[in-house]
Amino acid sequence: MYGHRARIGYTSPPAATEVFPYEFYKIVPEGVTLVVNTLPLVDRNSDEVDRAYEVSLNAAQAMARAGVDLFCFGGVPINVSQGFGNADNMAAATEAEIGIPVITSFSAQREAHEAVQSNNVGIIYPYDESHYERHANYIRNMGKNPVGYGCLNTTFIKLGQVDDSDVFDAAKRIVQEHPETDTIHIFCPHFATAEMIEPIEKEFGVTVVTALGAIVWNALRKTGVNDRIQGYGRLFREF
């Protein structure tokens, strides 16, 4: 069996999922596998998010029947679509129902920030400026202070086409404009970010938390995979 150490179940919002599994397998040690269910999101509008919430609940039950060791509700907008408090309640209720550990993308990112003890957080996200307040509000609900942002001006359906050098450039601008930044948070685990974590941390002296990194780290630790992984930042190396 490939997943002899841990089998991680994940609901992936993009109907055309590309980057998440690619970067997942770059990071995890041998013996850890991804069991993925794609959700019906193409444009990420409110109707699609509402449908995805219900599909996610059904997918959790299917994942448990398939024998995964942990299940993650993907998609912060889906996680919090019924309210921030409901996201934790949904995870707890689902865990009680299906009998395996359950996390959400939001809870994983929040716990990553708690681990690295971030405070002033610069935000990078893939969409245009109109999405800033939504992402800043996520950071506030993680108990942290948003201090600046970089947007990559792409769309949901084109996430796989983002050049990771744009991520580095956005981090550089944030740190230059907001020297109080101690952490860069990169939202959305569906565009290329993994190879930029170490360069950003080394160049600018900040900690980097990515959505994908937080999900993978949280899932590994909660399934007892405690390997200290090199090459993908402080989170994997130290915690």
CA gap 166, 79 in Å, rounded? 27
Q: CB–CB of 173/203 below 8 Å? A: no
Average confidence (pLDDT) per 10 residues, the chain, 239 residues: 98 90 98 92 63 81 96 88 82 93 97 99 97 96 97 93 97 98 98 98 99 99 98 98
Question: Per-residue pLDDT tens for 31-46?
Answer: 999 999 988 755 666 6
pLDDT score, position 14 = 84
Paired tokens of 164: 């990771």
- pLDDT tens by residue, 12-34: 988 789 999 999 999 999 999 99
All domains in the chain, ordered by first residue: 6-105+213-230 (3.40.50.12500), 109-211 (3.40.50.1860)
Query: What average pLDDT is seen over the chain?
Result: 94
Task: State the pTM of this model.
Answer: 0.95
Start-end of H helices in the chain: 19-27, 46-66, 76-79, 84-98, 105-116, 132-141, 164-177, 197-204, 211-222, 234-238
